[in-house]
Structure 1
């Protein structure tokens, strides 16, 4: 059997692969042909400029339409089915994955920040409906393995296949384009998850210490072992992105990939202020997010944003796509702010552009914002 992804990923047998491909195609059908029919019903709705009320009102109205309720239920159940079939695949080989993680224990580290407590909004909800969420701690690497293989199916293979690493390469592409001579000695990813973006970023700076934080020890232990299987050493910590336990001016680069929309509502300024505190003078902050601006979206896409927030446990989705990052970064103390869209890529190169003012759409480009302390 061909290994999919890397040495730590749960490998699917014939039946498991068939189940996962079925879920992938089911999700594609629900978000494709079915969704287009539902979306057509919203074309005549005139949104109120600059407010979220029209989308919320339209969503409430659609809730009275049986066809919409059926579609919304099918969408949610397909997401639950995804975690069910991937979970069964992971559980079948969890002892082997735990053994592999132990064999790789000499590379990298995982610790818990002083006084750490998981942010309540993440401790109390299952983001993306993933059972146990990000901070589940059962003493094993199960949650990370579930997140890893589930992410490949959830993304329908559009984020770098089974390595799930295209966003990390894309963030690096912006960094290397804007700062071609930049060479951080210490870098940190906020909300690193399983390390799928941190590993490629570390690969572009092999002499740097690569650090990452997230909220769950099981996810981070898996991330450490996953990176070790790919030949990368990561130093990871359970910590809160808006108030980490690192000393002032600890890093030359602080970045995140699609984390802002999973923050607690109202906490974007606190996260940016923490980035400023963590960076040394002259250090770089870089954040990558979904390539949408709420005020530029059509009515149906605004309704979809409301659905993500309410039914996929991502309450900061609208705020993340509405924020004025130029103003927020400057208010946090940064200078030379740049915002725009970076073309998605699997390989970053110094001086390579692919950055501009217009989005090319989800998975083809990503919103990026960078600045200097």
Structure 2
């Protein structure tokens, strides 16, 4: 990774901090490009043949694959290595944020004439599913808050995901929002001009901001549970000259009136919440949509899109990376969930989109 930054709110690493971050980046890249292909060889040449000899059939699901793989030393070592890299990644960026935290907080507050708004709710009850676990091993999870006007959770997340996604930090990191807009909305609904847009579970707003440019006449809103994340998201958007209205709300039940939005979206949000919460989010999406409005929830591919071995690899996020709801979400029939929320079957689409980085992204779309 280089030192050129995507926006002014990005924490600036010094020489030693950047060296540690680049080391974590390099280890993750080595694991992805060298070790994971070798793991598949272990499966194809050892685990799968042994399972077929013992059971007279191939494995039927990811659980049977895992039971066989757990007996292999290479798999054990790689799993430990992957977890260590994840923890090392967060530690390497947290040092940078902690060193600059007073300056970052001051920078976030120094807005003479802000374009957007920020509303926090100190009375909002954070669901236990977001506080019981440090999600994806990030210290304190999304909801860590340690000082007045804290923005550290947002800054740590924003800097850490550059290592996790193996990207240079000069990238604005908005590929998911751009994909939904330009690979789907602009193609399927070219005349669609929403007046109000809501991004649920927006975190630092990376994928919220493309909607500001794509629909310049729309009011764009972003909601999340975490105050430190939202303070950072607001400052990040302002530093990039984007007008977004951020507020601290639970996407399961917001304070917006019925039929408030023409477009309700989310990006890699559903896998961070349990199944009952997903059902509530879909019901809330339906309630918030104006007639003719569109709901789009984007996430990584569901297990039904994957071969069994790839599903086993995805499952590692739940078994080994503090993503407790990752696998349950990927087993869901989200079309059925949307129907239960009120959407008509003939107005529902679930499909895959090709992102600019070559990866595929899943979306569930409902129109009202």
TM-score with structure 2 length normalisation? Answer: 0.88
Q: Which position in structure 2 is the counterpart of 1:269?
A: 279
Judged with a 3 Å threshold, the aligned counterparts in structure 2 of structure 1 residues 115 and 10 are, in CA distance, closer, same or farther, namely closer
Judged with a 3 Å threshold, the aligned counterparts in structure 2 of structure 1 residues 203 and 333 are, in CA distance, closer, same or farther, namely same
Contact 2:297 2:365 (8 Å CA) reproduced: yes
Contact 2:65 2:309 (8 Å CA) reproduced: no
Classify the secondary structure of the residue corresponding to 2:171: helix
Judged with a 3 Å threshold, the aligned counterparts in structure 2 of structure 1 residues 201 and 363 are, in CA distance, closer, same or farther, namely farther
1:238 pairs with 2:248: yes
Richer in helix (by share):
2
Alignment partner of 1:286 out of 259, 272, 296: 296
1:319 pairs with 2:328: yes
Whole-Å Cα distance in 2 between the matches of residues 85 and 60 of structure 1?
33
Give, in angstroms, the shift of residue 106 of structure 1. 4.2
Classify the secondary structure of the residue corresponding to 1:195: coil
Whole-Å Cα distance in 2 between the matches of residues 71 and 40 of structure 1?
13
Contact 2:274 2:329 (8 Å CA) reproduced: no
Q: Which position in structure 1 is the counterpart of 2:126?
A: 118
Alignment of 1:38-77 (within 5 A): 38-43=39-44, 44=48, 46-48=58-60, 54-77=61-84
Q: Which position in structure 2 is the counterpart of 1:154?
A: 164
| Structure 2 gap segments, 5+ residues each | 52-57
Contact 1:113 1:245 (8 Å CA) reproduced: no
Classify the secondary structure of the residue corresponding to 1:197: coil
CA RMSD after TM alignment: 2.1
Contact 2:302 2:362 (8 Å CA) reproduced: no
Whole-Å Cα distance in 2 between the matches of residues 180 and 113 of structure 1?
37
Contact 1:11 1:89 (8 Å CA) reproduced: yes
Q: Which position in structure 1 is the counterpart of 2:85?
A: 78
Q: Which position in structure 1 is the counterpart of 2:186?
A: 176
Give, in angstroms, the shift of residue 161 of structure 1. 5.3
Alignment partner of 1:191 out of 190, 197, 201: 201
**1:58-107 superposed Cα distances (whole Å, 9 cap, x missing partner):** 32343333322211111000010001111111122222211110113742
Give the 4+ runs in structure 1 shifted more than 4 A: none
Whole-Å Cα distance in 2 between the matches of residues 125 and 294 of structure 1?
24
Contact 1:184 1:205 (8 Å CA) reproduced: yes
Larger CA Rg, structure 1 vs 2? 2
**1:209-230 superposed Cα distances (whole Å, 9 cap, x missing partner):** 1111111100000000000001
- Give the total of aligned pairs: 350
Contact 1:151 1:164 (8 Å CA) reproduced: no
Q: Which position in structure 2 is the counterpart of 1:136?
A: 144
Contact 1:152 1:161 (8 Å CA) reproduced: no
1:127 pairs with 2:135: yes
Whole-Å Cα distance in 1 between the matches of residues 12 and 120 of structure 2?
30
Judged with a 3 Å threshold, the aligned counterparts in structure 2 of structure 1 residues 295 and 367 are, in CA distance, closer, same or farther, namely closer
Give, in angstroms, the shift of residue 114 of structure 1. 8.7
Whole-Å Cα distance in 1 between the matches of residues 294 and 214 of structure 2?
15
Alignment partner of 2:312 out of 303, 310, 313: 303
1:25 pairs with 2:34: no
Give, in angstroms, the shift of residue 298 of structure 1. 2.8
